[in-house]
Amino acid sequence: MPRVTKAKTAKAKHKKILASTKGHYGARSRLYKTAKQSSIKSLQYAFRDRKNKKRNFRKLWIARINSGSRVLGVSYSQLINGLSESKISLNRKILSDLAINDASTFEKIVKTAVK
């Protein structure tokens, strides 16, 4: 009975890892051992940054809303409080888009919220 080697499966595993690290710098894309470590770390970064992306966009939207509302003489917290009291349910993404692209509509919303 011939002995079974793992050459075929090992080659496939190595090929998969090296393909996933294509574009990494130096040995991280060429040598299996370092490529495997690099691949694991890159997946950790990807998982973490999918969460951070949401956080960063929210920060950006808040900064845009704040700057748009301060031009009209209202702080961000006063605006959000006014919106919740007047039962206007617009999320921060839409508000920031209005503040940047449609100043007249944003101004009407701010006036309604402040009253």
Question: Looking at the domain assignment, is residue 95 inside a domain?
Answer: yes
CATH code: domain of residue 76: 1.10.1900.20
Which segments of 23-77 are extended strands (E)? none
Quote the CA–CA distance of 29 and 41 in Å, as a whole number.
13
Quote the CA–CA distance of 114 and 56 in Å, as a whole number.
27
Question: Looking at the domain assignment, is residue 63 inside a domain?
Answer: yes
The domain total for the chain is 1
Question: Looking at the domain assignment, is residue 43 inside a domain?
Answer: yes
Question: Looking at the domain assignment, is residue 11 inside a domain?
Answer: yes
Chain segment 9-34, per-residue pLDDT in tens? 999 999 999 999 999 999 999 999 99
Question: Looking at the domain assignment, is residue 1 inside a domain?
Answer: no
Chain segment 31-70, per-residue pLDDT in tens? 999 999 999 999 999 999 999 999 999 999 999 999 999 9
The number of residues in the chain equals 115
Question: Looking at the domain assignment, is residue 38 inside a domain?
Answer: yes
Instruction: Show the domain range for 73.
Output: 7-114
Q: Is 68 exposed, middle or buried (0-12, 13-18, 19+ CB in 10 A)?
A: buried
Q: What is the pTM of this model?
A: 0.77
